Amino acid sequence: MSKVFTPGQKYDPIPYPDRQDLSVEEMIKRSAEFYVAIQKRHSTREFSDTPVAREVIENCLKAAGTAPSGANHQPWHFCVVRDPEIKAKIRVAAEEEERAFYGGRAAEEWLNALAPLGTDTEKPFLETAPYLIIVFAERYGVLEDGETFKNYYVNESTGIATGFLINALHSSGLSTLTHTPNPMKFLNEVCERPSNEKAFLILVVGHPAEDAVIPKKSQIKKELNEMSSFL
């Protein structure tokens, strides 16, 4: 039986498990502690080649897999790349797309928005970092007998799972970078993924280099009153 809810499958609910009955004080304390911890997450483009234990990556992937999804179809696949030859192929293809992007494909407004971040066509981190996690979104599902079924809220579900993954990796002491060369069709071929999957993003994973930097702009976040409203 498939672990996703497909047509005709019986829904067999259980009582809500793992209930947390926390005091207001404890809830405030935990939320504040999480905010302090997540503030320390930064994207960087300078990674070291320091190895990372596979078990760490596996645990973080399992955490990502607990994310909610449309109809519980879990429309994602995480392709973990650590082979140097495959990483090199990804870099070559990604830089080719980036040269086209910076060379005329992108609108001037977009390039102006990227300018303060210091990005360019060179992506050495794709080879230096010990892991690349290629996140694929399943446009539709395929059962073992070849029958297909529709997935729902694919991008939303995959985005939530990716957020879980980034948080889990940060909590494990690792740095990440979300990289989205456009288009990313080459990743299906390089990673040998089926046509029902579409590359969502490349997550670069590892430890920051000793001389790693972050753009100043990334430290400027919206204040609470700028990004939220209470009705």
d(CA 79, CA 189): 12
What per-residue confidence (pLDDT) applies to 1?
A: 43
- Among residues 52, 98, 58, 80, which one has the least CA distance to residue 206? 52
Q: What are phi and psi of 70, to 5 degrees?
A: -60, 120
- In one-letter notation, the amino acid at residue 10 is K
pLDDT at 13: 87
Q: Specify the pLDDT at position 116.
A: 77
* Mean pLDDT calculated for residue range 41-65: 97
Tokens of 32: 């504040």
Residues 170-221 have pLDDT tens digits of: 999 999 999 999 899 999 999 999 999 999 999 999 999 999 988 776 567 8
pLDDT in tens, 64-116: 999 999 999 999 999 999 999 999 999 999 999 999 988 888 888 988 888 87
Specify which of 9-13, 14-18, 131-135, 214-218 reaches the highest per-range mean pLDDT: 131-135
Compute the C-alpha angle 145/147/150, nearest 5°. Answer: 145
Using a pLDDT cut of 70, give the percent of the chain over it: 95
- Asked if residues 87 and 127 have their Cβ atoms less than 8 Å apart, the reply is yes
Cis ω before 183 (30° cut-off from 0): yes
pTM of the model: 0.93
Give the Cβ contact number of residue 71 at 10 Å: 17
